[in-house]
Amino acid sequence: MTPTTFEAFETTLDRDTPPKEWPDSLKSLWFDAKGDWESSHDIAQDLHSLMGSWIHAYLHRKEGDKWNAGYWYGRAGKPFPDYTLEEELKVLVEANL
């Protein structure tokens, strides 16, 4: 079952894998929240949507690659954020619930 709040999403982080029925965008964010940037990025780069571009941007911002992040924010139609990565993760998760 897909969580309905960020807090419910966080309660799933003790699992070994994200629930199979979740959309790939939420699975990508789950891996990032678990500290597995590579798995998160592997999923995000295959999401050919505005949401996929936004997650991809966030991941490159987290990586410290501001230029690449800016490119992907542009593809997502989003401005480069002026808030923390933790806040952006929450915003992204909530946008996928």
Question: In Å, what is the CA distance from 41 to each residue of 1, 7, 23, 74?
Answer: 23, 23, 15, 18
Tell me what pLDDT residue 90 has: 98
Do residues 22 and 2 lie in contact, with contact meaning Cβ atoms separated by under 8 Å? yes
Q: What span, in angstroms and rounded, lies between the C-alpha atoms of 73 and 60?
A: 10
Tell me what pLDDT residue 8 has: 97
Percent pLDDT > 90 in the chain is 99
Tell me what pLDDT residue 1 has: 86
Q: What global pTM score does this model have?
A: 0.96
Those residues of the chain that have pLDDT short of 70 are none
